[in-house]
């Protein structure tokens, strides 16, 4: 924490780890911070929180970061349970004195086209930051995460140009120790695909997958009634 080179830690909150949209978004921002001379590190939360020998390692990584970036998928209107577990562990670990110098941001993506459905989850992140004494620098919300589908975002073409620009602005402001500006928040939250088209393509995509597994006609089964 005393060195001049600042450090950024990416916490990936998806159980899919490196092949997740959460990792795609976080990796891109982390790469931009590396180019701005940040020392970077990354942890897939699910690999740490349920193993007592790994919890200390995770807490140590958090304690040593100047900026913590949490990137997660929306699960049931909130954060995936292991991410909440990690937050509880950070809270219970104490160390508030140091945290006043640490910045915290969140990036979330969801399978619904409207990024507004992520607002509550980002509020939870803000509440967490305030409770544990991190500097809340803001949150980014991406709707229609299926369009990224875990691939590097700079390989996804013009469809993600607003997201890329938003992350570039975010990196610039974080490097200066400032909050994520509204301009970046708005760019990332802009609709990638019109909602009607997303609904049609999504419904078709699920049917194609079910057919592949031979369960197309059983998709509406109700196994829990009996």
Partner 1 sequence: MKALILDGFQNVDDSIESISKGIIETLKEHSWEVESIFLKERDITPCQGCFDCWVKNPGSCKTDDDAREIRKKWVQSDLIIHYTPITFGGYSSQLKKLMDRFIPVLLPFFQKIDGEIHHKFRYESRPSIIVIGYLNKPNDAQEKTFRKLVKRNSLNMGAPLHDVIIHSENGDKSDLFNQFKTLIRKLEVK
Residues found near partner 1 in the complex (CB under 8 A): 14-16, 20, 46, 50, 73, 75-82, 84-85, 87-88, 112-114, 116-117, 119-120, 123-125, 127-128, 130-131, 195, 198-199, 202-203, 206, 209-210, 212-213, 215, 218-225
Look at residues 43, 41, 40 and name the one whose alpha carbon lies nearest to residue 51: 43
For the chain, give the number of residues: 226
Decide whether 1 or 81 has the Cβ nearer to partner 1: 81
Token digits of residue 102:
């640490």
Decide whether 26 or 32 has the Cβ nearer to partner 1: 26
Least spacing, CB of residue 2 vs partner 1, in Å: 30
Least spacing, CB of residue 1 vs partner 1, in Å: 24
What letter does residue 75 receive in the DSSP assignment?
B
Least spacing, CB of residue 197 vs partner 1, in Å: 11
Q: How many CB atoms lie within 10 A of CB 180?
A: 24
DSSP-based three-state secondary structure for 5:
coil
Is residue 74 within 8 Å of 25, Cβ to Cβ? Answer: no
Decide whether 2 or 76 has the Cβ nearer to partner 1: 76
Q: How many CB atoms lie within 10 A of CB 93?
A: 17
Least spacing, CB of residue 43 vs partner 1, in Å: 16
Decide whether 54 or 199 has the Cβ nearer to partner 1: 199
Is residue 38 within 8 Å of 67, Cβ to Cβ? Answer: yes
Decide whether 92 or 155 has the Cβ nearer to partner 1: 92
Least spacing, CB of residue 146 vs partner 1, in Å: 11
d(CA 193, CA 199) in angstroms, rounded, equals: 10
d(CA 182, CA 170) in angstroms, rounded, equals: 10
Token digits of residue 124:
């939870």
Token digits of residue 142:
């991406």
Decide whether 37 or 96 has the Cβ nearer to partner 1: 96
Least spacing, CB of residue 53 vs partner 1, in Å: 18
- CB under 8 Å to 206, separation ≥6 — which residues? 219
């Amino acid at each position: 924490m005393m060195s001049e080179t600042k450090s950024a830690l990416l916490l990936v909150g998806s159980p899919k780890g490196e092949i997740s949209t959460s990792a795609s978004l976080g990796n891109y921002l982390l790469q931009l911070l590396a180019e701005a001379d940040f020392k970077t590190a990354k942890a897939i939360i699910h690999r740490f929180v349920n193993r007592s020998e790994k919890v200390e390692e995770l807490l140590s990584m958090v304690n040593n970061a100047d900026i913590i970036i949490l990137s997660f998928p929306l699960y049931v209107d909130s954060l995936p349970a292991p991410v909440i577990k990690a937050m509880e562990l950070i809270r219970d670990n104490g160390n508030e004195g140091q945290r006043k110098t640490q910045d915290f941001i969140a990036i979330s993506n969801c399978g619904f086209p409207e990024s507004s459905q992520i607002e509550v989850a980002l509020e939870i992140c803000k509440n967490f930051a305030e409770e544990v004494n991190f500097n809340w620098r803001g949150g980014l919300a991406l709707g229609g995460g299926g369009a990224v589908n875990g691939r590097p975002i700079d390989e996804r073409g013009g469809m993600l140009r607003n997201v890329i620009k938003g992350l570039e602005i975010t990196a610039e402001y974080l490097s200066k120790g400032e909050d994520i500006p509204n301009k970046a928040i708005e760019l990332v939250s802009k609709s990638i695909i019109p909602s009607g088209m997303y609904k049609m393509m999504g419904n078709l995509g699920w049917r194609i997958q079910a057919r592949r597994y031979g369960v197309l006609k059983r998709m509406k089964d109700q196994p829990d009634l009996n």
